[in-house]
Amino acid sequence: MEKVSTQPDNLIFVVDDDPVVISLVSARLETAGYRVRTYAYAEECIAAIGEELPDLIILDFWFMKEGQVTMNGMEAYDEITKLAPGVPVIMLSAQEEGAVVLEFARKGIADYVIKDSELIENLQMSVKEILER
């Protein structure tokens, strides 16, 4: 992943309940020189925003936690925009349904990346583009 040279210390929060996704995404971002904090659930990310403000949040859409109800990505996005309105959010999901993607756009999510075989490459392009804005 190509690093944004003008921002050597960009902090990115990666929020996903899938440890494989967390591992792949955080490893690629760290290799590119970004500072990364990982969270399995949106509630953890939201709590962390009070301590440290990231430059970008990569947020899963759907979370599963055994025996518990958790926030989905849209609910988390609404809370994040209240706490940190200037922080861009990239939403990750396997959702390809047009209505869901349209809702993401309507709410102002910076980008939407589908969890497929090209996740890392597509996320790489999105992160670079958003942090260069």
Give the global pTM: 0.89
Give the pLDDT score at 8.
56
**pLDDT at residue 124 greater than cutoff 70:** yes
Task: Report the distance separating Cα 33 and Cα 81, nearest Å.
Answer: 26
CATH number of the domain where residue 29 is located:
3.40.50.2300
The count of structural domains within the chain is 1
Sheet of 35-39, strands arranged across: 35-39, 11-15, 56-60, 89-93, 111-114
1 found inside a domain: no
How does pLDDT run across 25-68, given as a tens digit for each residue? 999 999 989 999 999 999 999 999 989 999 999 999 888 777 77
Of the candidates 12, 8, 42, 18, which has an alpha carbon nearest to the alpha carbon of residue 127? 12
In a domain, 5, yes or no: no
Q: What kind and span of H or E run contains 92?
A: strand 89-93
pLDDT in tens, 74-115: 999 999 999 999 999 999 988 667 777 788 888 889 999 999
Alpha helices in the chain (DSSP H): 19-31, 42-49, 73-83, 98-107, 119-132
Give me the domain span that covers residue 21.
11-132
